[in-house]
Structure 1
Amino acid sequence: MESTMHPSDNCTVETKPLYVFYSVVVIVEFVLALPLNLTVIYLFIFKLKFWKTNTNNIFLFNLVLADILLLICLPVKAYSFQMGERRSQNEVVCKAMLFMLFLNRGASIAFLTVISIDRYFNVVHPRKKNFLKILKKSPHISILIWLLLLPLTIPTMLKTFECCNSLGREDENLTTDIFREIVFFTQILIPFIVLVFCTAQIVNRLKKKTVGDRTKLRRAVFLVTSVMLVFSLCFLPCTISRMVLLLVRVKEYPEAEAIAVQVYDGLMCLSYLDCLLDPLVYCLSSTKFQTLYLEHYLPFLIGKDGQPSDSSHSTGNNSNTAPLKHAQRENMATQGTSSAS
């Protein structure tokens, strides 16, 4: 009986040293990302007062909130790996962990996508009325995202997802397994397609912009490109490995499945890296946030002019516009003198 058992029919690992290494990776991610995200959320709440500012800050706050909730799960996952288990043997802990991980990863993906869509409409269709702009004055869209994610996460509570019998093991659970896999893949692949579209459209808009201020467009390009890179690094590898794992599982290749399971778990650990990379999105989204963060935590990086030392392009633009404004003021004064005489 035991010799015919499939590699993923239980949560016990086959190569414990590998999972000990995975646990170290998870711990490093936790140690680096937790203080970073706590400092970010402090600024959003107490300095920026995100609920009083623009919608972009509301989306960013929800993104950092999803990251922090995800980070809470990482010590439990690292402990399970240290014990030689892919997931906790305690059923309640295991299902709670899966629920939290899927909910917060889904939220992270959703808010990264919404931020890119918001920037797409602001840059490519600045004058068009759209559903997103209607909701920009309130946090309703953020609440809606969290509410929509809840029912999509419920299937992870019905049966342990990554350790046992998923898709192709037990016919009576086939419908639940198929729905769970559809949710897993669509919440990654569809947003990725949207991100590619937004990035391509904004880059195309930048190329067509021959006159006027191109700085805003460049920042938009940097933002959507960084979001797509974070997405590609953190979420696409685990999605592809999941496809391979399901393929070898359905084809019943136990030895290949044993390898695929280990690769999948390792790439899932890589996906938690988005908690470290998301702050890059914050800095690219808002110059105000970037300056505020440096002033509070890294003041030695602030130049004598009060601007970040790497923002010479911003000061350069200001210096170029200063003579023009001065000339305009002189012209207005001259016109005023002429009319008075």
Structure 2
Amino acid sequence: MASVLPPVLIIEMFLGLPGNIMALYYFCKYMKSWRTNVTFLFNLILSDFLLLLSLPFRIDNFIRGETWLFGDAWCRINLFMLAVNRSASIAFMTAVAFDRYFKVVHPHHKINYISSKQAAGVACFIWAAVIALRIPLLANNLLSTGQNHSRCRSFSNYEKLSPGLLLHYIVFIFEFFVTLMLLIFCSARITSILRSRPRLNGDKKGQRAIRTVLVIVGVFVFCFFPSIATGLTVLMLNSHRNKYCNAYNLTTELFSMSLAFTYLNSALDPVIYCFSSSLFHNYLKRTLNWTGMI
């Protein structure tokens, strides 16, 4: 695992940072109207950018064979930053999907007419919620030290979970299944409406809406399902790990490796920006044309 994860995380960081920096620059400099979808996309970009900035410490940790050199306090802060921004990224992906859902399925609903300040208020509430749910990571000792190791993990083989870490586990599992159900609901309803209304089916905004939601669903499942599948398997095998020792150890390793997929989400999210914002898509094309990349 130690030999595989560092190059994977380095690739994710160098793929994700340019796209997110470009998106932040564009939204800050060129975006004049901060509508609801723009506000949610900006916060999605911000959460991805902050997560990628936290990755170098995990890369260093794995390069050294899971030897953490930065002390207990920074271990807690680093894992807190990763968890908060991963949850925020999921939350704002869902918010973007719901914005598209209401625009297509309920075009006259009052939620489509909320002001920029109200949208900013919703974004602040999302940040406050995800931070509050991850606060226990700052209150628990997450650094496991031994003769030959110093591991910094928020998921580990604890004999007894503290209430704070139990909440961390529950949030990790439930945010996947709740979000997946909401995204499937949005994509199914948008598709159904477009099919039942021929006028909308040929509309560019309607087509962009379904493409956006489908891309979000695809990125979400690809990035988060591996960690959920292996994590739940570890939990099931935990009470029988003496009997299924090899299977338990293998699944534990696979779970640790699958967390790299969750960070990949932050590198792939610029694809969502392209599908969600035609203005950003056109800006990206102009930039790539200018640099000679296309």
Q: Which residue identity does 2:210 align to in structure 1?
A: V
Distance across 2 between alignment mates of 1:208 and 1:252: 52
Unaligned runs of 5+ in 1: 1-17, 303-308, 310-341
Instruction: Tell me which of 215, 221, 227 is aligned to 1:226.
Output: 215
Q: Please name the residue that 1:197 is paired with.
A: 185
Answer with 254-263 or 195-204: which moved more: 254-263
- CA RMSD of the aligned region, Å? 2.2
Which of 87, 96, 112 is equivalent to 2:77?
A: 96
Task: Tell me what 2:204 maps to.
Answer: 215
Which letter maps to 1:120? Y
**CA displacement at 1:126 relative to structure 2:** 0.5
- Quick one: distance in 2 between partners of 1:88 and 1:229? 37
Give 2:99's aligned amino acid: D
Candidates 157, 161, 169, aligned match of 1:181: 169
| Alpha-carbon distance in structure 2 between the residues aligned to 1:175 and 1:53 | 40
CA-to-partner distance for each residue in 1:138-188, whole Å, 9 max, x for gaps? 41111111011111001222242545444xx12xx4534432221111122
1:251 to partner: Cα distance: 2.4
Alignment-mate amino acid for residue 267 of structure 1? S
User: 2: CA distance between counterparts of 1:89 and 1:289?
Assistant: 38
Query: Partners of 2:131 and 2:267 in 1: how far apart?
Result: 24
1:37 is matched with 20
Q: C-alpha offsets along residues 182-212 of structure 1, whole Å, 9 cap, x if unaligned?
A: 1111122111110000000001111112235
Per-residue displacement from partner, 1:70-93 (whole Å, max 9, x unpaired)? 011111111111111176673222
Q: What amino acid is the match of 1:152? A: L
Q: Distance in 2 between matches of 1:165 and 1:236?
A: 21
Q: Give the 3-state SS of the residue equivalent to 2:109 in structure 1.
A: coil
Deviation of 1:69 (Å): 0.5
Give 1:97 deviation, angstroms.
1.4
User: Counterpart amino acid of 2:262?
Assistant: S
Moved more, 191-200 or 286-295: 286-295
SS where residue 117 of structure 1 aligns?
helix
Q: 2:262 aligned with 1:281, yes or no? A: no
How many residue pairs align between the two structures? 279
Distance change in 2, residues 1:203/1:136 (3 Å): farther
Letter of the structure 2 residue corresponding to residue 148 of structure 1: A
What's 2:48 paired with?
Answer: 67
CA contact 1:202–1:221 (8 Å) conserved in 2: yes
Describe the superposition over 1:50-77 as per-residue Cα deviations: whole angstroms up to 9, x where unpaired. Answer: xx43121111111111011001111111
The secondary structure found in structure 2 opposite 1:291 is helix
Trace 1:1-341 onto structure 2 (pairs within 5 A). 18-49=1-32, 52-85=33-66, 90-130=71-111, 133-134=113-114, 136-138=116-118, 139-157=120-138, 158-160=140-142, 162=154, 164-166=156-158, 169-170=159-160, 173-211=161-199, 213-253=202-242, 254-299=245-290
- Structure 2 stretches of 5 or more lacking a match? 143-152
User: In the superposition, relative to structure 1, how do residues 153 and 88 fare at CA in structure 2: closer, same or farther (>3 Å)?
Assistant: farther
Question: Which piece of structure 1 moves more, 208-217 or 106-115?
Answer: 208-217
Following superposition, the deviation at residue 135 of structure 1 comes to: 5.4
Structure 1 residues 133 and 190, CA gap change in structure 2 (3 angstroms): farther
Deviation per residue, 1:243-290 (Å, 9 max, x gap) = 111111132343322211210111101111112211111111111111
Distance (Å, rounded) in 1 between the aligned partners of 2:28 and 2:114: 24
Letter in 2 for 1:273: L
Counterpart in 2 of 1:312?
A: none
CA distance in structure 1 between the partners assigned to 2:163 and 2:80 by the alignment: 19
Query: Which of structures 1 and 2 has the bigger CA Rg?
Result: 1
Matched to 2:103, the amino acid is N
- Residue 204 to residue 65, structure 1, CA distance change in 2 (3 Å): same
For 1:233, the aligned partner's letter is F
Aligned residues of 1:110 and 1:145 also touching (Cα < 8 A): yes
Give the whole-Å Cα distance in 1 for the aligned partners of 2:122 and 2:40: 9
Q: Which amino acid aligns with 1:192?
A: L
The structure with higher relative contact order (CA 8 Å, sep 6+) is 2
Return 117-126 or 133-142, whichever deviates more: 133-142
